[in-house]
Amino acid sequence: MTRDAGVRLPACFAAFPAAVLQVGRDGVVLESNGRLERELGRTVIGEPFVTVLDDASCGDKWLRAVAAAREPNAIVITELVFATADSVLEPRPFSVLWDADADLAWVIEHPVDSHVETVRREMADVNSELAGAHRQLVRERGRLDEFAHAISHDLKSPLRSVANYARWIEEDLGDVLMGEARGHMTLLRSQVERMRAMISGVLEYARSGRMRAPSEIVDTAALVADVVALLAPPPTCAIEVAANMPTFRAERAPLQQVFLNLIGNAIKYSGRDDTRVEVGVTDLGDVYDFFVRDNGPGIAPRVQEKIWSLFYTLAPRTASADGDAEGTGVGLSIVRQLVELQGGRAWVESEEGKGATFHFLWPKRTESSSTDHRASADSAVPG
């Protein structure tokens, strides 16, 4: 049975992004916008609607939906499954509405946003690629760790031999080794020690990028006191710790390492007998802005970003007067890496000749918190 030629499905339904059909009281398809036909590969107009469904149970579901739709003001949503000659299409939801005036049922498929589906498929592909990349990264990280430790051992062994030979030469020559020659031997031992420190620094930097530990309640005033005791500054160095240092949940080990490097640098590079170091904090809401301020020589603006680079040092690479090895240029790189691993930021404010203030933002965390506070930390950094 077909409709009269003058009564057709409105033309606007031709552009509808899903199937639209009209089914008469006798169950025969009267009109279609063509969407379903394109999927089935055949016409459905003039056929009983149940014949294009997958099986008898789906046909029963359809008949129950039509019966329910004939109730006053009813809109029935049901899931229907269609079958082609050699396959079954995916189930899809339809609304069934009864038009009493025309004595027919409207069957309207719920359209699926093709863009959303495309994005979902692309996201699934990306997630799969990321999972594969992560597994590869884990494998490569293991290989790099083995390589770094092997190189460390292979490089440190000959350095120990060089240091031993230098000491034996000094002992054998005794008082004969004088003046410039003794200075050369001192420089040699200093450079050997510096090379060993650089190798150790590289390994420490590599480990710092993966340093994560369970959070715990940390009393930062006590933590800074432990750091100062470990550094054992000279009596002429005054270290002042603010009274408002917080107690909060944090990862102790990386926080301690950051304070150890910053306070240690302030003491080591002050270049004066009356060294003064201040340790303080400002509560910024979601993060703490910790700072370490010194009265040292300061840092020129042009190099204030370079100092965070691996192996960059402000001091000349020579032996110090007291024989200590100078800095390796690793400490501040570790500081920034540890801070950023927590979702914070680290920066310096300084002028030449007026000391330096090193800041680092450390996010607050609750016991159950796993939120990345990077956005809060970024917004708190002065522009």
pLDDT of residue 329: 66
> Residue 332: phi, psi to the nearest 5?
-70, -30
> Residue 204: phi, psi to the nearest 5?
-65, -40
Q: Which of 34-43, 127-136, 341-350 has the highest mean pLDDT?
A: 341-350
CATH topology classification for 11-111: Beta-Lactamase (3.30.450)
**What does the DSSP assignment read for 208-257?**
HTT-----EEEEHHHHHHHHHHHH---TT-EEEE-TT--EEEE-HHHHHH
pLDDT tens figures, 222-257? 999 988 988 888 889 999 999 999 999 998 888 988
pLDDT tens figures, 185-206? 777 877 777 667 656 655 665 5
Residue 316, pLDDT above cutoff 70: no
Average pLDDT over residues 126-152: 72
pLDDT of residue 127: 78
- How far, in Å, CA of 251 to CA of 230, rounded? 19
Residue 280, pLDDT above cutoff 70: yes
Average pLDDT over residues 320-345: 72
pLDDT of residue 294: 94
Residue with more model confidence, 211 or 159 = 159
Using 50, 70 and 90 to split pLDDT, how confident is the model at 166? confident
pTM for the structure as a whole = 0.49
List the beta strands (DSSP E) in the chain.
Answer: 20-24, 29-32, 75-80, 92-99, 104-109, 216-219, 238-241, 247-250, 276-283, 287-294, 346-350, 356-363
pLDDT of residue 6: 34
Please state, for a pLDDT cut of 70, what percent of the chain lies above it.
74
Q: Are strands 104-109 and 92-99 parallel, antiparallel or unpaired?
A: antiparallel
Please return the burial class of 176, using the count of CB atoms within 10 Å of its CB with bins 0-12, 13-18 and 19+: exposed
Average pLDDT over residues 23-46: 88
Among 171-180, 238-247, 324-333, the minimum mean pLDDT is found in 324-333
Residue with more model confidence, 358 or 206 = 358
pLDDT of residue 208: 56
Instruction: Calculate the average pLDDT of the chain.
Output: 78
Using 50, 70 and 90 to split pLDDT, how confident is the model at 318? very low
Among 44-53, 126-135, 340-349, 370-379, the minimum mean pLDDT is found in 370-379
Using 50, 70 and 90 to split pLDDT, how confident is the model at 101? confident
The CATH homologous superfamily for domain 213-383 is Histidine kinase-like ATPase, C-terminal domain (3.30.565.10)
Q: Which of 18-27, 76-85, 305-314, 326-335 has the highest mean pLDDT?
A: 18-27
Average pLDDT over residues 276-301: 94
Using 50, 70 and 90 to split pLDDT, how confident is the model at 346? very high
List the beta strands (DSSP E) in 65-208.
Answer: 75-80, 92-99, 104-109
